[in-house]
Each structure stands twice: as structure tokens, then as C-alpha cells.
Amino acid sequence: MATSDKSDLVKIYHSLGRKKRLGTVILFVTSACNAKCRTCFYWQELNQPGDLTWDEIRRLSLGMPAFTDFWLSGGEPMLRRELTDIIHLFHTQNGVRWVNLPTNGLLPARTAEWISRICEENPGLQLDLNVATDGLHAMQDSLRAVPGNFTKTLETLEAVQPCRRKFPQLRVNVNTVICAENFDHVMAIAEFVKANCAVDGHYFNIIRGNAQDPTLKQIPTQRLATLYRDLQAVYDYYADQVFRRRTGLGRKIAQVYYHGTLALHNKIQLENISSPHPWPMPCTAGETSIVIDSNGDVRSCELRSRLANLRDYGCDFEKFWQAQARAEELEAIGRDQCWCTHVCFIHDSLRHSPKVLLYDIPLTYLESKFSSPSTQGHGFQAVPSLAGPAAR
């Protein structure tokens, strides 16, 4: 057996023993945003005063345990002056190994400069840059409510290419939010990106939360499974790139888990699109993952209520972590049965379930390969691998 095959099996074996401790932090680095997306679930919180200061973030980092996965959010992260310092801080002080960085693509030159700096300063860090593309031409400008947005999106994707070629730890992806207005154009967007943009992945998320334009949430859910099936071809196209450096059995194992995990995400999302339906594993939000808003509010997940404000604890994360409010929240999550479609938390939770890792993922992979088209489901989320940062 080749060394890479062994290392893949060892990674999966270690995943089975993953302890339930904090591993994923979602940090809204700023509330400032230069777009007005009609799909935005955070629109009421945007452009407010009170972002955590750099000093407060440093204090937070000091009191936080080691964790691996760092999802940045906002606002527009490229508007946070200390963005590269924040990433460097959590990489060096908290051991972060993977960063998911979304951008609305409106600042091409800054994005190229900062991405390059992040890669230079943090050679051991895996970075996924996700550029939002919800439509082509006028549709992108309309959905994101910024004239000329589509042109800027393409400029950003072009501007980061030198960096993408230089740094193997950087993946540049396109992210598309599926909504009522672009539902029938999703495949055309995917084909355009394949033909015109040099990217490593194209991921699709269903519109969620309290969108600024509620009509965009009226997607034809009965056609969603068919859309996921059609997107299979896009998925296959990029999967070859993701695992292009692997060979033999290691490549096959990685592909089964990559395909199977994405298929399971979508199966769970389809089951929960209309009403809550139990996941195949307990939700571990608030235990293995936490959300920190730009003003220091802290929540178990983006869908549940604020638990506290970290400023009330002097930005001492450990004090918050031991607080009664969090213990009560963990009990409440179990009681509330608030099953949802949120992929970040689905993914984080499944990594802590040996049953899902050994049974549901391989089974869902087989189902997706051999079942009838109407029951297939594949979607594409920029997620870390089961055993850590995404493979290239």
C-alpha cells in the first residue's frame, strides 16, 4: 500500500476518535459591507458601529483553546483593516489550520494583495477564498444591488490568479447562493464559470435565514433534487482538480468520502427544506463550533439566539465557555429539535459521529451513484475535509 493510501486511512481512523471539543469558530470580522445583496440574511446588522476592536480580538484569541477551522464572515471581510493580522494571530496562537474566506469580489486589487500576504505569512495554512457569484451580467448586479458588480467579480477572479499559481495552499472558489430568481440559471452560471474562470471549485448554497428580499426564498423546492442531480457534472469536474495530486487507493478513498459527504449534506438539506427532520447525528453546535458576531455577541449557530456578549466577560472566552448560559443552551438544542439546512453545522456535526463516518457517508455515496436520478442529491460546499483542511 502506498504511503499516501496509508495516510488517508490513518486520517479517517483518527476522525473516528475525534473528541467533542471546540474545533470550528465562525467569526464575523466586521459589520461593514459595500454591497446590498437581496439574498443577505445579515442585512439588518450591517454597517453598525461596535465591531470588536483589534485589542479585543487579541484578548479573545488569548483565552481561546486551540481549534482548527476558522470561518470568516461579515459584512465584507475585505473591509476589515486588520484582516490579515487576525488570520495570522489565530494561526500562530490558536493553531488554526484552515480558513474559509468569503468575499463579494468588489475589491479586486486589495483582495489580490491581502491573499498574497496571508499565504506568505502563514505557509502552513490552507486557505479557501470564495468569490460570490449569484448570476451572470445584469442578474449579478441586480441580486447584489451593485451596478457593475459582475465586472468586478471577474476582475477579482483574475487578480488572484498569480497568487493561486504561486501558493499550493490557496484554493480559489466561486460560491453561488441559489434563490428564486437564479434557480433556472444555476447551470448556466456553472457552465460560464467552467468556461471562463480559473477556479478550484464551485459551491452552491440554498438561500437561508431572513433574506432582505423574502420573495427570493420562494424557490421551487420540488425541483431541488433534480437541480442537485444536474450539478453532479459540475461536481465531478472540480473533484478531479481537488484530488489531482493523489493516486491509487488513496485517491479512491478520498473521492468516496468527498462525494459521500457532499451527497449526505444535500440529503439532509432536502429532508429539512420544508420542516425540521432529525439529522443522522446529534447537532454539536455550541459544543464543537461557535459563532462570534462582529459586535461580540456569541451564538451556538447562526440560527439560534444570542447567548451572551463576550464584552460582558471582558473578552475572556474561557469564562464564557464555562458559563451556565452555554450549558443550558446545549440542553435546549437537544430539546428544541431545531433541525435545519445549515451546511457548516451539518458538516461539523457529522465529523463527530463514528456512525455517520463509517456507515452513512459510504452508504450515501453508493446511493448517489446507483439510485434513481430523482433521489440523487449533490451540492458543493467549501468545507474542510473530514480529517482537517481540504485536500488539493
What residue ranges bind ligand SF4 (CB under 6 A)?
A: 33, 35-37, 40, 42-43, 46, 74-76, 104, 283, 285, 300-301, 303-304, 333, 338-340, 342, 345
Q: Whose grid coordinates read 467549501?
A: 382
Q: How far is Cα 303 from Cα 332, in angstroms, rounded to an integer?
A: 14
Residue with smaller CB distance to ligand SF4, 164 or 342: 342
Distances (CA, A) of 7 to 11, 253, 384: 6, 11, 17
E strand intervals along the chain:
24-28, 69-73, 98-103, 126-132, 170-178, 201-206, 289-292, 297-299, 308-309
Residue with smaller CB distance to ligand SF4, 211 or 254: 211
Residue with smaller CB distance to ligand SF4, 73 or 126: 73
Residue with smaller CB distance to ligand SF4, 88 or 277: 277
Residue type, 322: Q
Count CB-CB contacts under 10 A for residue 253.
Answer: 18
Residue type, 377: G
Residue with smaller CB distance to ligand SF4, 305 or 324: 305
Residue with smaller CB distance to ligand SF4, 4 or 151: 151
Q: How far is Cα 86 from Cα 133, in angstroms, rounded to an integer?
A: 26
Q: Whose grid coordinates read 486557505?
A: 127
**Distance, C-alpha 150 to centroid of its chain:** 22
Here the contacts of 303-312 (C-beta below 8 Å, separation 24 or greater) are 303/209, 303/338, 303/340, 303/342, 304/329, 304/333, 304/338, 310/52, 310/56, 310/60, 311/56
| Minimum gap (Å) between residue 165 Cβ and ligand SF4 | 27
Count CB-CB contacts under 10 A for residue 361.
Answer: 25
Residue with smaller CB distance to ligand SF4, 250 or 286: 286
| Minimum gap (Å) between residue 262 Cβ and ligand SF4 | 18
| Minimum gap (Å) between residue 211 Cβ and ligand SF4 | 9
Q: How far is Cα 134 from Cα 185, in angstroms, rounded to an integer?
A: 9
Rg (CA), the chain: 20
54-63 vs 83-94: helix crossing angle, rounded to 10: 20
Question: In this structure, are residues 32 and 295 in contact, taking their beta carbons and an 8 Å threshold?
Answer: no
- CA angle, corner 27, sides to 21 and 33, nearest 5? 165
| Minimum gap (Å) between residue 310 Cβ and ligand SF4 | 19
| Minimum gap (Å) between residue 337 Cβ and ligand SF4 | 8
Peptide bond into 260 cis (omega under 30): no
Residue with smaller CB distance to ligand SF4, 14 or 36: 36
- For residue 144, with 0-12 CB atoms within 10 Å meaning exposed, 13-18 middle and 19 or more buried, which class applies? buried
Residue with smaller CB distance to ligand SF4, 108 or 250: 108
Residue with smaller CB distance to ligand SF4, 207 or 242: 207
| Minimum gap (Å) between residue 233 Cβ and ligand SF4 | 27
| Minimum gap (Å) between residue 80 Cβ and ligand SF4 | 12
| Minimum gap (Å) between residue 286 Cβ and ligand SF4 | 7
Q: How far is Cα 225 from Cα 221, in angstroms, rounded to an integer?
A: 8
| Minimum gap (Å) between residue 146 Cβ and ligand SF4 | 9
| Minimum gap (Å) between residue 61 Cβ and ligand SF4 | 23
